[in-house]
């Protein structure tokens, strides 16, 4: 159940990011948003975790802001591996990673507060 909510939150976050950021597009409908969210979650969970562990000193020195740069890089990697996601440049990916982080945090905290 928690996995389904996180996947829907990711798809909603990608929809919000494509609406607000002009350099980010998802080619398709709702199923495509779910697919891109799943792929981004897998890439960010596996490769992103390793990269964050290796760059832990930079993350600590920047008070966590470098994590957004890593998320932007994982978003660009997702776009490279998926034909459904297009990212124009790094700044679009950085803005999208901020929006995706904010939306997923809000949705996950809302679901947790209703569950308790």
Read off the pLDDT of residues 78-112 as tens digits, 9 standing for 90 and up: 999 999 999 999 999 999 999 999 999 998 888 87
Whether the per-residue pLDDT at 116 is higher than 60: the answer is no
Predicted TM-score (pTM) of the model is 0.89
Beta-carbon count within 10 A of 103 CB: 19
Q: Where are the alpha helices (DSSP H) in 55-84?
A: 56-61, 66-81
Whether the per-residue pLDDT at 24 is higher than 80: the answer is yes
């Amino acid at each position: 159940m928690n996995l389904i909510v996180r996947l829907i939150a990711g798809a909603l976050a990608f929809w919000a990011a494509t609406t607000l950021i002009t350099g980010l597009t998802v080619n398709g409908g709702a199923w495509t948003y779910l697919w891109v969210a799943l792929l981004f979650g897998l890439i960010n969970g596996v490769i992103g975790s390793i990269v964050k562990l290796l760059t832990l000193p930079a993350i600590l020195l920047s008070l966590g802001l470098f994590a957004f740069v890593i998320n932007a890089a994982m978003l660009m990697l997702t776009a490279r591996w998926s034909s459904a996601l297009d990212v124009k440049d790094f700044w679009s990916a950085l803005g999208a990673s901020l929006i995706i982080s904010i939306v997923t945090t809000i949705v996950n905290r809302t679901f947790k507060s209703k569950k308790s």
